[in-house]
Amino acid sequence: MIKTFRGLMADGAQDTIVLHTNDGSTGYRIVKFQLMGPNSSTDIEHVLKIYKIKQTTITSSIDFSDQTLLAAAVITDSTGRETLPTPIIIFDKEVFNQDIYITSKADDNAANINYYLELEQVKLDMGESTVATLKDIRNLEYPRPGG
């Protein structure tokens, strides 16, 4: 089963995607993450990232060694010049069963940015549920610096 989410984010915003359940037996995996500007005539430069834990600081820096990072995307679109494809990296083998957080940070052009997210829902057995939940708890207890 695929669950979808979408939203419009401002610079420095953080959206919460509520996924937790009482027993943790439902897991999720990101299958699609797409970005789009608010219209065809607005310059945009944004970094959107998806995390396992709530972020205390929203930045445009991307650090693949951060074990709480689930996906990252960079979009640069300027009117009047060629637009490059949006690079999007999804760590698709990562299964989680708690809420996730999407952050948005603009560099020079701070227009709002749209996102579309698809999550594959997977049934977790008791062992898988325990592992996923313990990983999320560990990330909350020992967050990375600045996270």
Per-residue confidence (pLDDT) for residue 134, from 0 to 100? 61
Per-residue confidence (pLDDT) for residue 10, from 0 to 100? 93
Per-residue confidence (pLDDT) for residue 6, from 0 to 100? 97
Q: Over the chain (147 residues), what is each successive 10-residue block's mean pLDDT? A: 95 94 88 87 86 95 93 81 73 88 87 93 79 61 53
Say which amino acid occupies 120. Answer: E
Both structure tokens of 84: 């490059």
Per-residue confidence (pLDDT) for residue 23, from 0 to 100? 82
Per-residue confidence (pLDDT) for residue 144, from 0 to 100? 54
Q: Which helix or strand (DSSP H or E) is residue 77 part of? A: strand 69-77
Both structure tokens of 109: 């052009």
Per-residue confidence (pLDDT) for residue 94, from 0 to 100? 86
Per-residue confidence (pLDDT) for residue 84, from 0 to 100? 62
Cα–Cα nearest to 88, from 53, 113, 58, 109: 113
DSSP secondary structure of 88-129:
EEE-TT--B-S-EEEEEEEEEEE--EEEEEEEEEEE--HHHH
Per-residue confidence (pLDDT) for residue 110, from 0 to 100? 73
